[in-house]
Amino acid sequence: MFAGDEISQFFVFVTMPEGTTLGETDRIIRQLEERASKLPKSDVKSIVTNTGMMQTESAWYLKPSVGQVTIELVDSKFRKRSVDSYIEELRERAADISGIKSIDFSEVMTGPPVGPPVEIKVRGDDYDKLLLIANEVKNALGKIDGVSDIKDDFDIGKKELRLKINEERAALYGLDIFQVASTVRTAFEGTVASKFRELDEEIDIIVKYKENSRSSFKDLENMKIATPFGQMVSLKDIAEYTIEPVYTAINRTDRIRAVTVIADVDKAITNSNEVNKKVMEEFADLGARYPGYSLKFGGEFSELSESMEGLWKLFILGVFLIYVILGGQFSSLMQPLIILYTIPFAFIGAIAGLLIINSPFSLNTMYGIVALAGIVVNDALVLISFLNNARQEGYGRWRSIILAGSVRLRPIILTSVTTIFGLLPMAVGLGGKSETWGPLAATIVGGLFFSTVFTLFIIPCLIAGVDDFRLFFGAKSLKPRPHLDEIEEGK
């Protein structure tokens, strides 16, 4: 989305199954550290590990089942390989470490924070179907070259014991769900029976079963419940229990349950836009196969689409304001259109500039294109302004065009050349290439060069064509009349 300069650092985030002890997580982190130490020593500056803590862009996690490894490399000018190549090497080295729930490699990038390259939200009501569709999406992503670190945000927590009260049988003993639940709660968690005061401090006196009476499932089954009739009934006679995993969180998008699938993309092979389009095509019939379920695409793809839409609106507004200002300046509706005609040629030059430096289209280059709309009109503005002044002084139709082209040639070229050569070192990377500002500069340089050539050669032709059109419809101001050049020649 944003072209950014490479930062010589990357992270490895490790998530173990829920309930893993800190010691076991530390053992895995040490194995990963040992794999990282096998990277070229001349290129690695430091390796830092943290067990029980994971600092991602979205949140910090402090629990025994997480950990991270931070690898800092030497500066890019002192190594030949990219950060992505080290990530791929470490990913291959860590593939044989067992027991890990998920392992993610994250490169540090400049620019504002953005979402993951691929983020697909599976939305619906039933979690079983959501997980089924999410697995289909992950399988589809796994078949695309360049896609890695595929995972979802659905986490199963620790198992819990669930009691299901047989209401009819409990009613025979004069019991209801609240009475049974209160008794079980008191037995295992306890209830405050009184308070003990010591000086100014109050201490709760909690009454509950002894530990050896609440340590097994059999203790639960044989637990006695007092009925309103003065009888004692075993819990197993009025209830059943099951052991089931619990959800650590229920995530929603637009108030609808959702499971989010995320993945990383190797930009040397593909990009997030292409990956999302392939998934869209494969799941175009999702609504027919699973009624009530849908996919919502987010991450870089969504943010880029929203940003592009906003920039295009600003671009159109800017062009409109330029037209209004020029229309008021020249008291003409046609001449501002001739001036604005330079903008499409600037786009061609901008694309050519990006192709020359082999840079992809990004939001930074879009900023450059928006800026070009206000820069490239200057040359045509200077040319047409001089032409209008010449005609007001009495010069003829062709003479004014030739005079404007010859007299304003040097100022137009000098104005463009100074701007082009001022940005050229940044565009080609003299003294150090910037992935952030290089494409932006190349966009402006290419667009300005093409628009300057267009202004000098095409704008005069457009002016002559508009003159012919106006003469055809009988414009009096362009009909032959004595001009200064004709008087000087004695005509």
CA-CA distance, 325 to 332, in Å (whole number)?
Answer: 11
Q: What is the CATH number of the domain that holds 367?
A: 1.20.1640.10
Please identify which residue in the block is written with the tokens 């405050």. Answer: 192
d(C-alpha 475, C-alpha 466), whole Å = 11
Task: Choose one of 198, 218, 247: the last residue of a domain.
Answer: 247
Do 54 and 107 contact (CB within 8 A), yes or no? no
Report the distance separating Cα 69 and Cα 86, nearest Å.
14
Based on the domain organization, do 109 and 162 belong to the same domain?
no
Assess whether 104 and 163 both reside in one domain: no
Do 43 and 98 lie in a common domain?
A: yes
| Domain count across the chain | 3
- The secondary structure of 328-360 as a DSSP string is HHHT-SSHHHHHHTHHHHHHHHHHHHHHHTT--
Q: How many helices and strands (H and E) does the chain possess?
A: 18, 15
Is 349 a member of any domain? yes
Mean pLDDT of residues grouped by 10 in the chain (491 residues)?
A: 67 88 93 91 91 84 91 86 87 88 80 72 89 92 88 78 88 89 88 82 86 83 86 89 79 86 83 87 90 87 76 86 88 86 86 82 80 86 87 83 86 88 83 74 89 86 83 60 45 38
**350, 467: one domain:** yes
Do 66 and 175 lie in one domain? The reply is: no
CB atoms within 10 A of CB 260: 20
Within 10 A of 187 (CB to CB), how many other CB atoms are there? Answer: 20
Q: Identify the burial level of 437 via C-beta atoms within 10 angstroms of its C-beta, where 0-12 means exposed, 13-18 middle and 19 or more buried.
A: middle
Look at residue 6 in the predicted model and tell me its pLDDT. Answer: 66
3-state helix vs strand vs coil in the chain, percent to 5: 50, 25, 25
Buried b (16+ CB within 10 A) or exposed e, 305-324: eebeeeeeeebeeebeebbe
- The answer to whether residues 336 and 468 belong to one domain is yes
Residue 163 belongs to a domain: yes
Instruction: Note the Cα 383 to chain centre separation in Å.
Output: 43
Q: Rounded to an integer, what distance in angstroms lies between the CA atom of residue 32 and that of residue 140? A: 29
Residues 98 and 187 occupy one common structural domain = no
Burial of residue 164, with CB atoms counted within 10 A of its CB: 0-12 exposed, 13-18 middle, 19 or more buried? exposed
Compute the Cα dihedral for 377, 379, 380, 381 and give only its sign.
positive
Are residues 18 and 93 located together in one domain of the fold? Answer: yes
Burial 144-157 (b: 16+ CB within 10 A, else e): bebbbbbbbebbee
Q: Is the residue at 307 inside a domain?
A: no
CATH code for position 58 = 3.30.70.1430
Locus of tokens 């012919």: 468
**Backbone phi, then psi, for 74, in 5-degree steps?**
-70, 165
Using the CB atoms, write b or e for 453-470: b if 16+ within 10 Å.
Answer: ebbbebbbebbeebbeee
Neighbours of 481 (CB within 10 A): 10
Tokens of 118: 């691929």
Name which of 459, 371, 363 is nearest 408 in CA terms: 459
177, two tokens: 């769900």
Do 347 and 480 sit in the same domain of this protein? yes
Boundary-marking domain end, from 113, 147, 174? 113
Let me know if residue 465 belongs to a domain. yes
208 domain residue, yes or no: yes
pLDDT for the residue numbered 55: 86
Is position 267 within any domain? no
Same domain, 392 and 478: yes
Residues 101 and 180 in one domain: no
Nearest to 478 by CA among 459, 458, 463, 461: 463
Range of the domain at 194: 158-247
Same domain, 183 and 109: no
Round to whole Å and give the CA distance between 44 and 74. 6
- How many other C-beta atoms are found inside a 10 Å radius of the C-beta of residue 90? 21
CATH number at residue 192: 3.30.2090.10
SS3 269: coil
Which of 231, 247, 263 is a domain's end point? 247
From residue 446, how far is each of 151, 194, 346, 441 by CA, in Å? Answer: 41, 83, 7, 9
In a domain, 134, yes or no: no
Residue 352 lies in a domain: yes
pLDDT of 47 reads 92
